[in-house]
Amino acid sequence: MFWDETIETLGRDSLDKLQLERLQKTVRRVARHVPFYSQKFAAMGLKPGAIRSLADVRRLPFTTNADLRDNYPDGLVAVPPQKRLRLHTSSGTTGKPKALFFSRQDVNQAAELIARCLVMAGTTSADILQNMMTYGLFTGALVMHYGAEKLGMLVIPAGPGNSEKQLLLMQDFRTTALHTTPSYALYFADFLEKKEVDPRKELALRKAFIGAEPYTEETRRKIELALGVEVYNSYGLSEMNGPGVAFECMARQGMHLWEDNFLLEIVDPQTGEPLPEGQTGELVLTSLCREAMPILRYRTRDITSIVPGPCPCGRTHRRIHRITGRSDDMLIVRGANVYPQQIERVLMSLPAVGRNYLICLEGLDEMTVKVELSDASFDGQVDHLVHLQSQIADKLRAEIMVKPKVELVAPGTLPISEGKAKRVVDKRVL
């Protein structure tokens, strides 16, 4: 089951050759049309013709998040106004947003990659997709929408939130596939439980495409159990079209990254030096097909590694492991390096824990983890709760080396966000 078998199973040599041609073309185009890059090349004494092999990508400058913000609104655009077809922005957390432009070719190409992903994950034009991502400036919903339509699915543009309505849509139109964030999937699972809806009996769901924020294998399992679906990890970022950059096939052992469209490198997040294949580091991506806004060596800050060996599905595009977090997500708590993902992994492996949590950092260096209980464990028995509290604190200490304060709260009481989940509140006065 392929959308474009020739390209998806292209041999390594042909894929390398295609990548090099597209890289050279991209470099020539930005040198001609994007002053930000032509000035950088001039300062480095780099001529576009100097890129003769794929390894030469290392001679190109990185592009960072800050470069995108500094060149807001359209400093990095390589096409004239009449070729700009769509604008998206990426929120980020501080300061100015990033503006991302698409040409008609970019809109089509992004949809093409989504169609590949959806077929790869085992859906067909007979499936019905309920798209629960935020429509609007954010790439998540629209890019998926166009791709699913390209494949020929019925798409329900539900957007996020309003669980009552989501459920009605699922019931009335027999939704078979969902596109959502892990945090909303968990929230919705909770809602179904409260409504006493058994998704396996009453709904037609079979697959869920889940991404836009990091999550663990434990969370995947929790969603699969609660919604009666197979969860496929979906990775993307607005700078590289949005969703559809990397996606799981039915083997679900890492996400195939579409290498005919993106050149991938894994670098040491501190030094920017390339790491040997298989090592964990920061994903750096160069767009090979984007017309309106090509980006060279984008520092995603996402931490991952390449999955070794060929995939049983027959696709040749290399796979990346689940993103374990962003290089700038790391918290330093009482001298220890802590990733929110480590905390999530511990919490989601405990049946007594519900579906939401919040990490709060306060005062000089105090960490409190607020944890929602599952309905079953919320029995009001004080000694049970006290025991559970210390059990969670001990498990967390074993994982992250610092012992946080654990606060247990009733199911459904922590805030949930419509877009990306906010898992950390840092109010320390250090």
Chain residues binding ligand ADP by CB under 6 A are 90-92, 139, 211-214, 233-238, 300, 302, 323, 326, 420
238 binds, among ligand ADP, Zn ion, none (CB under 5 to 8 A by kind): ligand ADP
Q: Which of 317, 286, 265, 306 is nearest to 22 (CA)?
A: 286
Pick between residue 48 and residue 281 the one whose CB is nearest to ligand ADP.
281
CB of 113 to ligand ADP, least distance (A): 14
Binding mask 146-165 for Zn ion (x = CB under 5 A): --------------------
Helix H or strand E segment including 290: none
CA dist 183 and 133 (Å) reads: 11
Using the minimum distance from each CB to Zn ion, give the nearer residue, 179 or 315. Answer: 315
The nearest distance, CB 314 to Zn ion, in angstroms, is 7
313 binds, among ligand ADP, Zn ion, none (CB under 5 to 8 A by kind): Zn ion
Structure tokens at 224: 């699969």
212 binds, among ligand ADP, Zn ion, none (CB under 5 to 8 A by kind): ligand ADP
Q: Which is nearer to ligand ADP, 87 or 410 (CB)?
A: 87
Residue 283 beta carbon to ligand ADP: minimum distance, rounded to whole angstroms? 8
C-beta of residue 229 within 8 angstroms of C-beta of residue 208: yes
Which tokens in the block code for residue 230? 């197979």
Q: Which letter does DSSP use for residue 271 in this model? A: T
CA distance 132 to 118: 16
List the one residue out of 109, 107, 89 whose CA is nearest residue 99.
89
Taking the complex as a whole, how short is the minimal distance between the CB of residue 41 and ligand ADP, in angstroms? Answer: 26
Which pair of tokens denotes residue 312? 């049983």
**Site residue total, Zn ion (CB under 5 A):** 5
Q: Which is nearer to ligand ADP, 34 or 237 (CB)?
A: 237
Residue 292 beta carbon to ligand ADP: minimum distance, rounded to whole angstroms:
16
Pairwise CA distance, residues 403 & 360, whole Å: 13
What phi and psi, each to the nearest 5 degrees, are found at residue 290?
A: -70, 130
Smallest gap from Cβ 211 to ligand ADP, in A, equals: 3
Partner interacting with residue 249 (select from Zn ion, ligand ADP, none; CB below 5-8 Å by kind): Zn ion
Q: How far is the CB of 310 from Zn ion (least distance, A)?
A: 9
Residue 250: name its binding partner from Zn ion, ligand ADP, none (Cβ under 5 to 8 Å by kind).
none
Q: Which residue's CB is nearer to Zn ion, number 76 or number 115?
A: 115
Q: Locate the DSSP E strands across 54-204.
A: 86-90, 98-102, 128-131, 154-156, 177-180
Distances (CA, A) of 369 to 9, 114, 130, 389, 398: 46, 37, 33, 10, 15
Here's the x/- map for Zn ion, 281-320, by CB under 5 A: it reads as ------------------------------x-x-x-----
Task: By CB under 5 A, tell whether 117 contacts Zn ion.
Answer: no
Q: Using CB distances below 5 to 8 A depending on partner kind, what does residue 214 bind out of ligand ADP, Zn ion, none?
A: ligand ADP
Q: Which is nearer to ligand ADP, 264 or 388 (CB)?
A: 264
Is residue 249 involved in binding Zn ion (CB under 5 A)?
yes
At its nearest, how many Å lie between ligand ADP and the CB of residue 362? 25
Residue 247 · residue 232 · CB < 8 Å: yes
Query: Where would I find the H helices in 275-339?
Result: none
Tokens 């929120």 correspond to what residue? Answer: 91
Residue 288 binding: pick among Zn ion, ligand ADP, none (C-beta 5-8 Å cut-off by kind)? none
CB 390 within 8 A of CB 403: no
Determine the Cα–Cα distance for residues 222 and 319; give it in Å rounded to an integer.
24
Tokens of 231: 């969860």
What Rg value do the Cα atoms of the chain yield, rounded?
22
Q: How far is the CB of 258 from Zn ion (least distance, A)?
A: 12
Q: Are 109 and 241 in contact (CB under 8 A)?
A: yes
Q: List residues binding Zn ion (CB under 5 A).
A: 249, 251, 311, 313, 315
